[in-house]
A = this chain, B = another copy of it.
Amino acid sequence: MVNPIGALNKIFDSRIRLGVMSILVVNDAVSFNELKQMLELTDGNLASHLNTLEQAEYIKVQKAFIGRKTNTTYLITELGKQAFKAHLDALEKMIKGI
């Protein structure tokens, strides 16, 4: 038998990063504050997890202006979508014992 946990993505071991991806996979552009509120996190904690996801190129940042005010939103990348899907597939296989 092949080790079932080997196919899991380490980046998604973290519940918070998993939560961020779950949100971004269905929502096109979500702001820092929306994520913060949805996931009930402190700024620092959220920022560091977003940073990890950005380093992995699973998400990207978009800085825009709403009137004069800057607004930062986060989007999932194509690579991020693939990695997330692959992780979920691996999870499913593991659970179902395939």
Contact = CB atoms under 8 A, between A and B. Distances in A.
A18 B91 CA distance: 9
A22 B88 contact: no
A12 to B, nearest CB: 9
Given A3-B39, A5-B39, A38-B3, A95 B22 contact: yes
Interface residues of A, number: 24
A3 B97 contact: no
Interface of A is mostly: helix
B40 A6 contact: yes
A15 B11 CA distance: 11
Nearest to A3: B40
A66 interface: no
Interface string A1-37: 1011110100001111011001101100000000000
B97 A4 contact: no
